[in-house]
């Protein structure tokens, strides 16, 4: 499932296939995606955070399908085991509206170069290798769009998701509030490529990049 892995450690790993699907096929597998969402919530996010309902997720998905550049990657074995979807961030920087403070110059420059892709959601059925599969799905979305930076927003109350992303290489860069939502989000970015990673690692020494305690 990942480079250098011993196939004996995870017999199903080699069988996982990743492929892109267009918005019309997404509509065809809508109910399967709803099932996947419910299964992905089975491990729970702790009592402090209540996940949106299946219908809320499907409404969220419908809204994102309509966005320009929408893309989804799914993972399959003998059925649907995971997915990740999102859309390109416009160079005008509107995606960052509501960011608390001044957006770092490095991220602003990458945004202006149209090299940021927003990952709206990543779902994986509970499995010992689910975190690695989630990262594979995210990387495929980004590389397929020649993005050098992934971006995502996570409800700050959803600590399990935040901890999982952080352990997978995502950097928490601060707080963000949308004008139309009461939710407080953490904004996270995932750099791709040595140059982008090096540029953002330098930012990690600045006070505003810290993992909330």
Give the pLDDT band (50/70/90) at residue 12. very low
Q: CA–CA separation, 51 vs 137, rounded Å?
A: 21
3 in a domain, yes or no?
A: no
Residue 209 confidence (pLDDT) above 50 = no
Within 10 A of 99 (CB to CB), how many other CB atoms are there? Answer: 18
Domain that holds residue 15: 8-203
Model pLDDT, residue 126: 86
Q: CA–CA separation, 117 vs 189, rounded Å?
A: 10
51-88 pLDDT, tens digit each: 889 999 999 999 999 999 999 999 999 899 999 999 99
210 in a domain, yes or no?
A: no
Q: CA–CA separation, 198 vs 175, rounded Å?
A: 22
pTM for the full model? 0.84
Determine what percent of the chain is predicted with pLDDT higher than 70. Answer: 80
Choice between 45 and 86, residue whose per-residue pLDDT is larger: 86
Quick check: 124 and 18 in contact, CB under 8 A? no
Give the pLDDT band (50/70/90) at residue 46. low
Q: How far apart are the first and last CA of the chain?
A: 32
Q: CA–CA separation, 108 vs 116, rounded Å?
A: 10
36 in a domain, yes or no?
A: yes
Total domains in the chain come to: 1
Sequence-separated (6 or more) residues with CB below 8 Å from residue 202: 106
3-state DSSP helix/strand/coil % of the chain, to nearest 5: 40, 25, 40
CATH number of the domain enclosing 167: 3.40.630.30
92 in a domain, yes or no?
A: yes
Give the pLDDT band (50/70/90) at residue 2. very low
Quick check: 95 and 152 in contact, CB under 8 A? no
Model pLDDT, residue 212: 43
Q: CA–CA separation, 152 vs 67, rounded Å?
A: 16
Model pLDDT, residue 43: 61
209 in a domain, yes or no?
A: no
Tell me 46's DSSP state.
-
């Amino acid at each position: 499932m990942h480079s250098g892995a011993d196939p004996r450690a995870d017999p199903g790993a080699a069988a996982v296939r990743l492929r892109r699907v267009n918005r019309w096929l997404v509509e065809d597998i809508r109910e399967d995606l709803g099932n996947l969402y419910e299964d992905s919530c089975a491990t729970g996010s702790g009592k402090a955070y209540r996940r949106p309902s299946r219908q809320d997720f499907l409404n969220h998905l419908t809204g994102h399908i309509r966005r320009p550049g929408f893309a989804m990657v799914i993972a399959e074995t003998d059925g649907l085991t995971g997915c990740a979807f999102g859309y390109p961030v416009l160079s005008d920087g509107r995606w960052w509206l509501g960011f608390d403070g001044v957006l770092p110059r490095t991220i602003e420059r990458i945004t202006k170069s149209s090299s940021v892709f927003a990952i709206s959601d990543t779902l994986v059925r509970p499995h010992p290798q689910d975190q690695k599969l989630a990262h594979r799905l995210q990387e495929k979305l980004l590389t397929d769009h020649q993005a050098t930076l992934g971006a995502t927003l996570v409800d700050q109350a959803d600590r399990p998701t935040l901890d999982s992303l952080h352990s997978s290489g995502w950097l928490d860069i601060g707080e963000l509030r949308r004008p139309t939502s009461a939710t407080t989000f953490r904004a996270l970015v995932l750099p791709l490529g040595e140059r982008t990673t090096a540029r953002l690692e330098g930012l990690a020494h600045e006070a505003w990049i810290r993992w909330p305690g």
